[in-house]
C-alpha cells in the first residue's frame, strides 16, 4: 500500500465524520413473462417515455449494482483501505458516505475527489489496490440481482441486441460477467476509461449504440447510480433505474424514466409486454 498522511486534508472528510451508519429461481422465459399478468398501476410510474420505444431493439446494461449487487463488496474494500491510509483521521466511512460520494464514480474522478492534495499517481495506486481487493472478495460474495437470468433468456428469445457498459476497470468487469455466467451473453463490453469520457458523460453509451448498431429510439438502459442515469439521459436513451442500493429520489432526480426493485418487478414485465419486438418468438 502507498503511504498516506493521516492528516491529509480532504474536502469530504467532514461529511464522512458526520454521516450516520446504516444497515434464483430458474424458470423458462415464457413462465417469467406470464407473471406480467400481475396488475400494475402504470399511471403511478413515469413509463410514457418507455412506451414510445416500441418495437424494442436493444437493451444496455450497467454492471455494478445493476447486473449484480456488488456495492457491499466495493464498500467493504473502500472502508478497509481508506481506514488503513488514515482517511478521515482513521474513522471508517459509512454506507451513506459511500452512496453519496463514491458509488458509480469513475476511478480517475474518485482519486481526485478523495485525495485532492495527493499526487495523482499515488491516488490512482490506491484505487488500483482497492480494485485488487474487490477482485479478491468478489468470487465468494457476488450475487446476481433477482430475476436477471430469466430476463436474459427473454432477451435471447426475442433476439434483442445488448451490451454491457460500465465505469469499472476491464479486469473487474470481465470477472463479474464471468462469475455471473454472462460472458457470452454480451457481445459488446464498453469500459468508461477506454472512451474519451466516462460516465456521467454519454460517451460510453453512445459507443455501445454504435458498436451494436442500435437506435436510441428503440433502446433503453438499466442503471443503478445517479452517474449512470445521467449518462444515459445525456445519450438521449431512456433509463430504467434499479433501486439496488441508491435512494429512489436520487435516481429520479438524475432522470430515470422508471424505477424497479429488481428484474422481477411487475412494472418491468408489463412495460416489456408493451414494447416487445413485434416478431414471432421461435419455438424450440
- Residues marked active site are found at 62, 64
Distance CA 188, CA 8 (A): 41
Residues in the chain: 284
Spatial separation of the C-alpha atoms in residues 35 and 18, rounded to whole Å: 44
Position of cell 424494442? 56
Exposed e or buried b per residue across 71-108, where buried means at least 16 C-beta atoms within 10 angstroms of its C-beta? bbbbbebbbebbeebebbeeeebbbbbbbbbbbbbbbb
Query: CA nearest 279: which of 53, 27, 47, 57?
Result: 57
Judging by beta carbons within 10 Å of its beta carbon (0-12, 13-18, 19+), is residue 70 exposed, middle or buried?
buried
Q: Report yes or no: 60 and 221 within 8 Å, Cβ to Cβ.
A: yes
Tell me the C-alpha distance between 111 and 131, whole Å: 13
Amino acid at each position: 500500500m502507498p503511504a498516506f498522511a493521516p492528516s491529509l486534508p480532504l474536502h469530504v472528510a467532514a461529511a464522512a465524520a458526520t454521516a450516520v451508519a446504516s444497515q434464483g429461481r430458474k424458470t423458462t422465459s415464457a413462465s417469467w413473462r406470464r407473471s406480467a399478468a400481475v396488475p400494475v398501476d402504470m399511471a403511478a410510474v413515469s413509463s410514457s417515455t418507455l412506451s414510445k420505444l416500441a418495437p424494442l431493439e436493444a437493451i444496455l446494461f450497467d454492471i455494478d449494482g445493476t447486473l449484480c449487487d456488488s456495492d457491499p463488496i466495493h464498500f467493504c474494500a473502500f472502508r478497509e483501505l481508506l481506514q488503513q491510509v488514515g482517511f478521515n483521521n482513521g474513522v471508517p466511512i459509512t454506507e451513506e458516505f459511500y452512496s453519496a460520494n463514491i458509488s458509480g464514480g469513475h476511478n480517475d474522478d474518485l482519486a481526485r475527489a478523495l485525495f485532492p492534495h495527493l499526487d495523482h499517481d499515488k491516488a490512482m495506486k490506491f484505487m488500483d489496490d482497492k480494485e485488487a481487493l474487490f477482485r479478491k472478495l468478489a468470487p465468494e460474495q457476488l450475487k446476481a440481482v433477482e430475476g436477471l437470468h430469466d430476463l436474459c433468456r427473454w432477451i435471447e428469445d426475442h433476439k434483442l441486441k445488448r451490451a454491457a457498459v460500465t465505469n469499472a476497470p476491464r479486469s473487474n468487469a470481465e470477472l463479474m460477467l464471468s462469475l455471473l455466467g454472462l460472458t457470452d451473453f454480451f457481445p459488446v463490453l464498453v469500459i468508461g476509461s477506454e472512451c474519451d469520457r466516462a460516465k456521467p458523460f454519454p460517451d460510453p453509451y453512445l459507443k455501445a449504440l454504435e458498436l451494436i448498431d442500435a437506435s436510441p429510439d428503440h433502446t433503453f438502459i438499466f442503471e443503478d447510480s445517479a452517474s449512470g442515469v445521467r449518462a444515459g439521459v445525456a445519450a438521449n436513451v431512456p433509463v430504467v433505474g434499479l433501486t439496488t442500493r441508491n435512494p429512489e429520489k436520487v435516481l429520479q432526480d438524475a432522470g430515470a424514466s422508471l424505477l424497479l426493485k429488481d428484474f422481477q418487478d411487475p412494472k418491468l414485465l408489463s412495460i416489456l409486454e408493451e414494447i416487445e419486438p413485434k416478431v414471432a418468438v421461435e419455438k424450440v
